[in-house]
Amino acid sequence: MFINKKLFTTALLGLLVTLSIIALILSLVRVEDVTLPPTVQYGMVFDAGSSHTSLFVYEWDSDKQNNTGVVSQTFSCDVQGPGITSYANDPSKAGDSLRECLEEALKVVPAAKQRDVSVYFGATAGMRLLREQNSSAADQVLAEVAKTIQEYPVAFCGAQIITGEEEGAYGWITINYLLESFTKYSPKAHMWVHPEADDSFGALDLGGASTQISFVPKGSFINWNETSRFTLYGYNYNIYTHSYTCYGQNEMWKRLAKELIVAFSAFYYNFKFLNLTEGQSLATVRETIEHFCARTWEDLSSNYPEENPERLPKYCANANYILTLLLDAYKFDEVSWNNIFFQIKVGSTSVGWTLGYMLNLTNMIPAEAPVWVKGHTPSLWAAAVAFITLALALGLVALLVLLWT
Protein backbone atom coordinates (compact mmCIF):
# COMPACT_ATOMS: atom_id res chain seq x y z
CA MET A 1 0.00 0.00 0.00
CA PHE A 2 2.83 2.39 1.02
CA ILE A 3 4.91 1.56 -2.10
CA ASN A 4 1.86 1.81 -4.28
CA LYS A 5 1.06 5.23 -2.88
CA LYS A 6 4.61 6.50 -3.39
CA LEU A 7 4.74 5.12 -6.91
CA PHE A 8 1.34 6.58 -7.70
CA THR A 9 2.16 10.09 -6.46
CA THR A 10 5.55 10.05 -8.22
CA ALA A 11 3.87 9.12 -11.50
CA LEU A 12 1.27 11.79 -10.87
CA LEU A 13 3.90 14.47 -10.19
CA GLY A 14 5.90 13.41 -13.27
CA LEU A 15 2.79 13.76 -15.40
CA LEU A 16 2.07 17.12 -13.76
CA VAL A 17 5.52 18.49 -14.59
CA THR A 18 5.28 17.21 -18.19
CA LEU A 19 1.87 18.81 -18.69
CA SER A 20 3.10 22.11 -17.23
CA ILE A 21 6.13 22.13 -19.54
CA ILE A 22 3.90 21.48 -22.58
CA ALA A 23 1.51 24.24 -21.48
CA LEU A 24 4.43 26.63 -21.01
CA ILE A 25 5.87 25.85 -24.45
CA LEU A 26 2.44 26.22 -26.07
CA SER A 27 1.94 29.62 -24.50
CA LEU A 28 5.38 30.85 -25.57
CA VAL A 29 5.56 29.79 -29.23
CA ARG A 30 4.13 31.86 -32.08
CA VAL A 31 3.30 34.83 -29.83
CA GLU A 32 3.39 38.11 -31.71
CA ASP A 33 3.16 41.80 -30.83
CA VAL A 34 -0.02 43.23 -32.31
CA THR A 35 -1.67 46.66 -32.17
CA LEU A 36 -5.34 46.85 -31.39
CA PRO A 37 -7.40 48.64 -34.05
CA PRO A 38 -7.57 52.41 -33.37
CA THR A 39 -10.61 53.65 -31.50
CA VAL A 40 -13.00 56.14 -33.08
CA GLN A 41 -13.17 59.76 -31.91
CA TYR A 42 -16.14 62.05 -32.47
CA GLY A 43 -16.78 65.76 -32.89
CA MET A 44 -19.89 67.87 -33.57
CA VAL A 45 -20.16 71.23 -35.28
CA PHE A 46 -23.23 73.46 -35.50
CA ASP A 47 -23.40 75.66 -38.57
CA ALA A 48 -25.70 78.57 -37.72
CA GLY A 49 -26.33 80.30 -41.03
CA SER A 50 -28.55 83.26 -41.74
CA SER A 51 -31.53 81.19 -42.83
CA HIS A 52 -31.12 77.91 -40.97
CA THR A 53 -28.93 75.90 -38.60
CA SER A 54 -27.45 72.44 -39.23
CA LEU A 55 -25.59 70.03 -36.99
CA PHE A 56 -22.88 67.73 -38.29
CA VAL A 57 -21.28 64.77 -36.52
CA TYR A 58 -17.78 63.77 -37.61
CA GLU A 59 -15.61 60.82 -36.72
CA TRP A 60 -11.96 59.89 -37.20
CA ASP A 61 -9.62 57.12 -36.12
CA SER A 62 -7.59 57.96 -33.03
CA ASP A 63 -4.34 57.14 -34.85
CA LYS A 64 -4.03 60.31 -36.89
CA GLN A 65 -2.01 60.88 -40.07
CA ASN A 66 0.90 63.26 -39.46
CA ASN A 67 -1.14 64.64 -36.54
CA THR A 68 -4.36 65.38 -38.47
CA GLY A 69 -7.41 63.12 -38.36
CA VAL A 70 -8.90 61.51 -41.47
CA VAL A 71 -12.38 62.86 -40.79
CA SER A 72 -15.69 61.65 -42.19
CA GLN A 73 -19.24 62.86 -41.70
CA THR A 74 -21.43 60.29 -39.92
CA PHE A 75 -24.60 62.24 -39.28
CA SER A 76 -26.25 65.53 -40.07
CA CYS A 77 -29.44 67.14 -38.85
CA ASP A 78 -31.33 70.24 -39.96
CA VAL A 79 -32.59 72.25 -37.01
CA GLN A 80 -36.32 72.93 -37.33
CA GLY A 81 -37.29 76.55 -37.81
CA PRO A 82 -35.43 79.62 -39.05
CA GLY A 83 -31.87 80.81 -38.37
CA ILE A 84 -30.91 81.74 -34.80
CA THR A 85 -30.88 85.48 -35.57
CA SER A 86 -34.68 85.37 -35.75
CA TYR A 87 -34.71 84.56 -32.00
CA ALA A 88 -33.03 87.86 -31.14
CA ASN A 89 -36.15 89.01 -29.28
CA ASP A 90 -36.54 85.72 -27.41
CA PRO A 91 -33.01 84.28 -27.05
CA SER A 92 -33.94 81.26 -24.93
CA LYS A 93 -35.82 79.86 -27.93
CA ALA A 94 -32.52 79.86 -29.87
CA GLY A 95 -31.11 77.36 -27.38
CA ASP A 96 -34.27 75.24 -27.30
CA SER A 97 -34.37 74.98 -31.07
CA LEU A 98 -31.13 72.96 -30.98
CA ARG A 99 -32.26 70.25 -28.54
CA GLU A 100 -33.91 67.90 -30.99
CA CYS A 101 -30.87 67.66 -33.27
CA LEU A 102 -28.45 67.45 -30.35
CA GLU A 103 -30.36 64.51 -28.87
CA GLU A 104 -30.50 62.76 -32.25
CA ALA A 105 -26.77 63.31 -32.73
CA LEU A 106 -25.89 61.92 -29.29
CA LYS A 107 -27.59 58.65 -30.26
CA VAL A 108 -24.92 58.22 -32.94
CA VAL A 109 -22.08 58.42 -30.39
CA PRO A 110 -21.46 55.44 -28.06
CA ALA A 111 -22.38 56.44 -24.48
CA ALA A 112 -18.83 55.86 -23.20
CA LYS A 113 -17.45 58.39 -25.72
CA GLN A 114 -19.96 61.19 -25.23
CA ARG A 115 -17.96 63.06 -22.60
CA ASP A 116 -15.03 63.31 -25.01
CA VAL A 117 -17.06 64.65 -27.95
CA SER A 118 -15.94 68.18 -28.84
CA VAL A 119 -18.98 70.29 -29.67
CA TYR A 120 -18.51 73.62 -31.38
CA PHE A 121 -21.14 76.16 -32.38
CA GLY A 122 -20.19 78.55 -35.17
CA ALA A 123 -22.45 81.31 -36.45
CA THR A 124 -21.84 83.02 -39.79
CA ALA A 125 -23.05 86.06 -41.71
CA GLY A 126 -26.55 86.38 -40.24
CA MET A 127 -25.10 86.76 -36.74
CA ARG A 128 -22.31 89.02 -38.00
CA LEU A 129 -24.99 91.40 -39.24
CA LEU A 130 -27.01 91.14 -36.02
CA ARG A 131 -23.87 91.91 -34.00
CA GLU A 132 -23.34 95.03 -36.07
CA GLN A 133 -26.92 96.13 -35.49
CA ASN A 134 -27.21 95.17 -31.83
CA SER A 135 -24.24 93.47 -30.24
CA SER A 136 -25.95 92.78 -26.92
CA ALA A 137 -28.75 90.92 -28.71
CA ALA A 138 -26.17 88.79 -30.56
CA ASP A 139 -24.32 88.06 -27.29
CA GLN A 140 -27.54 87.00 -25.62
CA VAL A 141 -28.42 84.57 -28.40
CA LEU A 142 -24.95 83.00 -28.19
CA ALA A 143 -25.13 82.83 -24.39
CA GLU A 144 -28.43 80.95 -24.56
CA VAL A 145 -27.03 78.57 -27.15
CA ALA A 146 -24.00 77.90 -24.93
CA LYS A 147 -26.22 77.37 -21.87
CA THR A 148 -28.30 74.77 -23.71
CA ILE A 149 -25.36 72.79 -25.11
CA GLN A 150 -23.68 72.74 -21.68
CA GLU A 151 -26.68 70.87 -20.29
CA TYR A 152 -25.57 67.85 -22.31
CA PRO A 153 -22.72 65.48 -21.34
CA VAL A 154 -20.26 66.66 -24.00
CA ALA A 155 -17.00 68.64 -24.20
CA PHE A 156 -18.35 72.05 -25.24
CA CYS A 157 -15.74 74.11 -27.14
CA GLY A 158 -17.62 77.39 -27.36
CA ALA A 159 -20.28 79.27 -29.34
CA GLN A 160 -18.81 81.97 -31.56
CA ILE A 161 -19.42 84.16 -34.54
CA ILE A 162 -16.75 83.16 -37.03
CA THR A 163 -15.33 85.75 -39.38
CA GLY A 164 -15.94 85.65 -43.10
CA GLU A 165 -12.23 84.89 -43.58
CA GLU A 166 -12.40 81.88 -41.27
CA GLU A 167 -15.55 80.67 -43.00
CA GLY A 168 -13.83 80.94 -46.38
CA ALA A 169 -10.62 79.28 -45.23
CA TYR A 170 -12.42 76.36 -43.55
CA GLY A 171 -14.58 75.98 -46.68
CA TRP A 172 -11.41 75.80 -48.73
CA ILE A 173 -10.08 73.07 -46.43
CA THR A 174 -13.35 71.11 -46.76
CA ILE A 175 -13.38 71.23 -50.56
CA ASN A 176 -9.74 70.32 -50.94
CA TYR A 177 -9.93 67.57 -48.36
CA LEU A 178 -12.93 65.98 -50.10
CA LEU A 179 -11.25 66.28 -53.50
CA GLU A 180 -8.16 64.59 -51.99
CA SER A 181 -5.71 67.47 -52.39
CA PHE A 182 -4.21 66.85 -48.93
CA THR A 183 -4.18 63.13 -48.45
CA LYS A 184 -5.32 60.13 -50.40
CA TYR A 185 -5.68 56.48 -49.47
CA SER A 186 -3.30 54.32 -51.44
CA PRO A 187 -4.81 50.82 -51.77
CA LYS A 188 -1.42 49.50 -52.92
CA ALA A 189 0.49 50.76 -49.90
CA HIS A 190 -2.51 50.27 -47.54
CA MET A 191 -1.95 53.70 -46.09
CA TRP A 192 -2.75 57.40 -46.42
CA VAL A 193 -0.21 59.32 -48.47
CA HIS A 194 0.31 62.88 -49.60
CA PRO A 195 -0.68 63.19 -53.29
CA GLU A 196 2.25 63.72 -55.65
CA ALA A 197 0.84 66.75 -57.44
CA ASP A 198 0.82 69.73 -55.09
CA ASP A 199 -2.38 71.20 -56.56
CA SER A 200 -5.36 72.60 -54.77
CA PHE A 201 -8.76 73.96 -55.76
CA GLY A 202 -10.01 77.46 -55.06
CA ALA A 203 -13.34 77.73 -53.26
CA LEU A 204 -16.29 80.06 -53.78
CA ASP A 205 -19.16 80.03 -51.36
CA LEU A 206 -22.47 81.85 -51.67
CA GLY A 207 -24.22 81.97 -48.34
CA GLY A 208 -27.38 83.64 -47.17
CA ALA A 209 -25.74 86.96 -46.28
CA SER A 210 -22.15 86.77 -47.50
CA THR A 211 -19.95 85.26 -50.16
CA GLN A 212 -16.38 84.04 -49.81
CA ILE A 213 -13.53 83.31 -52.18
CA SER A 214 -10.47 81.35 -50.98
CA PHE A 215 -7.37 80.04 -52.68
CA VAL A 216 -3.65 79.44 -52.25
CA PRO A 217 -2.05 82.57 -53.71
CA LYS A 218 0.70 82.03 -56.26
CA GLY A 219 3.48 84.49 -56.89
CA SER A 220 5.20 87.04 -54.69
CA PHE A 221 2.56 89.80 -54.51
CA ILE A 222 1.16 88.34 -51.37
CA ASN A 223 0.24 90.30 -48.32
CA TRP A 224 0.83 87.59 -45.74
CA ASN A 225 -1.37 89.49 -43.28
CA GLU A 226 -4.38 88.47 -45.34
CA THR A 227 -3.65 84.76 -45.37
CA SER A 228 -4.38 82.15 -42.75
CA ARG A 229 -1.84 79.47 -42.07
CA PHE A 230 -2.83 75.86 -41.52
CA THR A 231 -0.85 72.71 -40.94
CA LEU A 232 -2.67 69.68 -42.28
CA TYR A 233 -1.26 66.14 -42.47
CA GLY A 234 2.22 67.51 -41.88
CA TYR A 235 2.15 70.13 -44.66
CA ASN A 236 1.76 73.92 -44.36
CA TYR A 237 -0.80 75.89 -46.33
CA ASN A 238 -1.28 79.65 -46.61
CA ILE A 239 -4.80 80.42 -47.68
CA TYR A 240 -5.95 83.79 -48.92
CA THR A 241 -9.62 84.53 -48.30
CA HIS A 242 -11.77 87.48 -49.14
CA SER A 243 -15.26 87.72 -47.73
CA TYR A 244 -17.93 90.01 -49.10
CA THR A 245 -20.65 90.54 -46.52
CA CYS A 246 -24.08 91.54 -47.84
CA TYR A 247 -23.36 89.97 -51.20
CA GLY A 248 -25.29 86.83 -50.24
CA GLN A 249 -28.59 86.14 -51.89
CA ASN A 250 -30.85 87.09 -49.00
CA GLU A 251 -29.21 90.48 -48.79
CA MET A 252 -29.68 90.91 -52.52
CA TRP A 253 -33.36 90.10 -52.12
CA LYS A 254 -33.66 92.50 -49.22
CA ARG A 255 -32.20 95.17 -51.44
CA LEU A 256 -34.23 94.27 -54.49
CA ALA A 257 -37.57 93.55 -52.96
CA LYS A 258 -37.22 94.89 -49.42
CA GLU A 259 -38.49 91.60 -48.14
CA LEU A 260 -36.94 88.86 -46.09
CA ILE A 261 -36.92 85.39 -47.54
CA VAL A 262 -35.92 82.42 -45.68
CA ALA A 263 -35.20 80.69 -48.84
CA PHE A 264 -32.40 78.20 -48.81
CA SER A 265 -29.76 79.70 -50.97
CA ALA A 266 -26.52 78.72 -52.57
CA PHE A 267 -24.86 78.65 -55.93
CA TYR A 268 -25.68 75.01 -56.06
CA TYR A 269 -29.42 75.05 -55.41
CA ASN A 270 -30.14 77.66 -58.03
CA PHE A 271 -28.00 76.05 -60.68
CA LYS A 272 -29.26 72.58 -59.77
CA PHE A 273 -32.80 73.77 -60.35
CA LEU A 274 -31.84 74.86 -63.86
CA ASN A 275 -29.91 71.60 -64.42
CA LEU A 276 -26.69 73.54 -64.81
CA THR A 277 -24.44 71.65 -62.39
CA GLU A 278 -23.11 69.13 -64.94
CA GLY A 279 -20.24 71.25 -66.21
CA GLN A 280 -22.08 73.03 -69.04
CA SER A 281 -20.22 75.68 -70.98
CA LEU A 282 -20.72 79.36 -70.21
CA ALA A 283 -22.64 79.81 -73.47
CA THR A 284 -25.10 77.04 -72.54
CA VAL A 285 -25.51 78.47 -69.06
CA ARG A 286 -26.28 81.93 -70.44
CA GLU A 287 -28.75 80.51 -72.94
CA THR A 288 -30.52 78.38 -70.32
CA ILE A 289 -30.89 81.29 -67.94
CA GLU A 290 -32.12 83.61 -70.69
CA HIS A 291 -34.61 81.01 -71.86
CA PHE A 292 -35.83 80.40 -68.30
CA CYS A 293 -36.24 84.09 -67.59
CA ALA A 294 -38.25 84.59 -70.78
CA ARG A 295 -40.92 82.03 -69.85
CA THR A 296 -44.34 83.21 -68.78
CA TRP A 297 -45.64 82.72 -65.27
CA GLU A 298 -48.41 80.35 -66.48
CA ASP A 299 -45.85 78.27 -68.33
CA LEU A 300 -43.54 78.07 -65.27
CA SER A 301 -46.18 77.33 -62.67
CA SER A 302 -47.74 74.56 -64.76
CA ASN A 303 -44.33 73.02 -65.47
CA TYR A 304 -43.13 73.12 -61.85
CA PRO A 305 -46.28 72.41 -59.83
CA GLU A 306 -44.20 71.06 -56.90
CA GLU A 307 -42.11 74.18 -56.56
CA ASN A 308 -42.89 76.78 -53.92
CA PRO A 309 -44.64 79.61 -55.85
CA GLU A 310 -42.73 82.16 -53.72
CA ARG A 311 -39.39 80.73 -54.79
CA LEU A 312 -40.11 79.98 -58.44
CA PRO A 313 -39.87 83.55 -59.75
CA LYS A 314 -36.59 84.05 -57.85
CA TYR A 315 -34.55 81.46 -59.73
CA CYS A 316 -34.25 83.81 -62.68
CA ALA A 317 -32.89 86.69 -60.61
CA ASN A 318 -30.72 84.43 -58.46
CA ALA A 319 -29.14 82.74 -61.46
CA ASN A 320 -28.44 86.10 -63.10
CA TYR A 321 -26.97 87.34 -59.84
CA ILE A 322 -24.66 84.34 -59.59
CA LEU A 323 -23.59 84.79 -63.19
CA THR A 324 -22.84 88.47 -62.61
CA LEU A 325 -20.94 87.68 -59.43
CA LEU A 326 -18.79 85.04 -61.13
CA LEU A 327 -18.12 86.99 -64.31
CA ASP A 328 -17.90 90.60 -63.14
CA ALA A 329 -16.74 90.33 -59.54
CA TYR A 330 -14.61 87.18 -59.74
CA LYS A 331 -13.58 87.69 -63.39
CA PHE A 332 -14.26 84.21 -64.71
CA ASP A 333 -14.34 83.97 -68.52
CA GLU A 334 -15.29 81.35 -71.16
CA VAL A 335 -12.11 79.38 -70.52
CA SER A 336 -11.83 79.55 -66.75
CA TRP A 337 -15.58 78.89 -66.47
CA ASN A 338 -14.90 75.26 -67.37
CA ASN A 339 -12.90 74.88 -64.17
CA ILE A 340 -15.90 75.72 -61.99
CA PHE A 341 -17.64 72.80 -60.30
CA PHE A 342 -20.92 73.35 -58.50
CA GLN A 343 -21.18 71.14 -55.48
CA ILE A 344 -23.29 70.74 -52.39
CA LYS A 345 -21.98 67.32 -51.43
CA VAL A 346 -18.98 65.22 -52.30
CA GLY A 347 -20.01 61.62 -51.78
CA SER A 348 -22.33 61.81 -48.80
CA THR A 349 -20.49 64.67 -47.11
CA SER A 350 -21.87 68.22 -47.12
CA VAL A 351 -19.62 70.93 -48.45
CA GLY A 352 -19.36 73.81 -46.01
CA TRP A 353 -16.97 75.27 -43.48
CA THR A 354 -17.73 72.77 -40.70
CA LEU A 355 -15.65 69.84 -41.91
CA GLY A 356 -12.63 72.09 -42.45
CA TYR A 357 -13.03 73.43 -38.93
CA MET A 358 -13.17 69.88 -37.53
CA LEU A 359 -10.11 68.85 -39.53
CA ASN A 360 -8.06 71.75 -38.17
CA LEU A 361 -9.33 71.02 -34.66
CA THR A 362 -8.19 67.38 -34.78
CA ASN A 363 -4.62 68.76 -34.66
CA MET A 364 -5.33 69.84 -31.10
CA ILE A 365 -7.30 66.85 -29.88
CA PRO A 366 -4.65 64.48 -28.49
CA ALA A 367 -4.19 61.21 -30.32
CA GLU A 368 -4.61 58.03 -28.32
CA ALA A 369 -1.38 56.03 -28.32
CA PRO A 370 -1.82 52.72 -30.14
CA VAL A 371 -2.38 49.83 -27.73
CA TRP A 372 0.17 47.01 -28.08
CA VAL A 373 -0.83 43.55 -26.94
CA LYS A 374 0.62 40.00 -27.17
CA GLY A 375 -1.31 38.04 -29.75
CA HIS A 376 -1.55 34.22 -29.83
CA THR A 377 -2.83 31.81 -32.48
CA PRO A 378 -6.32 30.73 -31.26
CA SER A 379 -5.65 26.96 -31.59
CA LEU A 380 -2.34 27.18 -29.69
CA TRP A 381 -3.95 29.32 -27.05
CA ALA A 382 -6.84 26.81 -26.63
CA ALA A 383 -4.34 23.92 -26.35
CA ALA A 384 -2.30 25.82 -23.74
CA VAL A 385 -5.45 26.48 -21.68
CA ALA A 386 -6.44 22.80 -21.94
CA PHE A 387 -3.02 21.62 -20.70
CA ILE A 388 -3.00 24.11 -17.84
CA THR A 389 -6.47 22.96 -16.77
CA LEU A 390 -5.39 19.32 -16.96
CA ALA A 391 -2.24 20.07 -14.93
CA LEU A 392 -4.31 21.84 -12.27
CA ALA A 393 -6.75 18.96 -12.05
CA LEU A 394 -3.91 16.45 -11.68
CA GLY A 395 -2.24 18.65 -9.07
CA LEU A 396 -5.45 18.64 -7.03
CA VAL A 397 -5.73 14.85 -7.28
CA ALA A 398 -2.09 14.49 -6.18
CA LEU A 399 -2.74 16.76 -3.21
CA LEU A 400 -5.82 14.77 -2.15
CA VAL A 401 -3.93 11.47 -2.46
CA LEU A 402 -1.07 12.82 -0.31
CA LEU A 403 -3.32 14.20 2.42
CA TRP A 404 -5.98 11.52 2.80
CA THR A 405 -4.31 8.16 2.24
Ligand X SMILES: *[C@@H]1O[C@H](CO)[C@@H](O)[C@H](O)[C@H]1NC(C)=O
Which residues are known to be catalytic? 167
- Closest contact distance (angstroms) between CB of 233 and ligand X is 4
CB 141, CB 88: distance < 8 Å: yes
The answer to whether 134 contacts ligand X (rule: CB under 6 A) is: yes
The residue among 193 and 396 lying less far from ligand X, judged by its C-beta, is 193
Residues 259-288 that bind ligand X (CB under 6 A): none
The answer to whether 241 contacts ligand X (rule: CB under 6 A) is: no
CA distance 323 to 327: 6
CA distance 311 to 354: 27
Nearest to 174 by CA among 119, 118, 230: 230
The answer to whether 250 contacts ligand X (rule: CB under 6 A) is: no
Q: Which residue among 93, 113, 147, 194 contacts ligand X (CB under 6 A)?
A: 194
Q: What is the largest CA-CA distance in the chain?
A: 117
Q: Which residue among 8, 152, 156, 192 contacts ligand X (CB under 6 A)?
A: 192
Residues in the chain, total: 405
The answer to whether 308 contacts ligand X (rule: CB under 6 A) is: no
CA distance 72 to 118: 15
- Closest contact distance (angstroms) between CB of 186 and ligand X is 9
How many residues of this chain bind ligand X (CB under 6 A)? 22
Given strand 227-232, what is the order of strands in its sheet?
A: 203-206, 210-215, 235-245, 227-232
CA distance 317 to 283: 18
Q: Which residue among 86, 97, 181, 183 contacts ligand X (CB under 6 A)?
A: 183
- Closest contact distance (angstroms) between CB of 92 and ligand X is 12
Nearest to 76 by CA among 50, 48, 46: 46
CB 249, CB 321: distance < 8 Å: yes
Phi and psi of 260, rounded to 5°? Answer: -100, 125
The residue among 41 and 360 lying less far from ligand X, judged by its C-beta, is 360
The answer to whether 67 contacts ligand X (rule: CB under 6 A) is: no
Binding to ligand X by CB under 6 A, coded x per residue (else -) over 139-178, reads -x-------------------------x--x---------
The answer to whether 405 contacts ligand X (rule: CB under 6 A) is: no
Residues 315-334 that bind ligand X (CB under 6 A): none
Binding to ligand X by CB under 6 A, coded x per residue (else -) over 329-368, reads -------------------------------x--xx----
Binding piece for ligand X, criterion CB under 6 A, among 132-140, 206-214, 347-355, 378-386:
132-140
The answer to whether 228 contacts ligand X (rule: CB under 6 A) is: yes
The residue among 229 and 295 lying less far from ligand X, judged by its C-beta, is 229
DSSP state, residue 246: T
Binding to ligand X by CB under 6 A, coded x per residue (else -) over 206-225, reads -----------------x-x
CA distance 196 to 390: 59
CA distance 94 to 47: 13
Element (H or E) spanning 191, and its range? strand 191-193
Residues 23-62 that bind ligand X (CB under 6 A): none
Nearest to 325 by CA among 239, 245, 240, 206: 206
Binding positions for ligand X, rule: CB under 6 A: 65-66, 88-89, 134, 136-137, 140, 166, 169, 183, 192-194, 223, 225, 228, 233-234, 360, 363-364
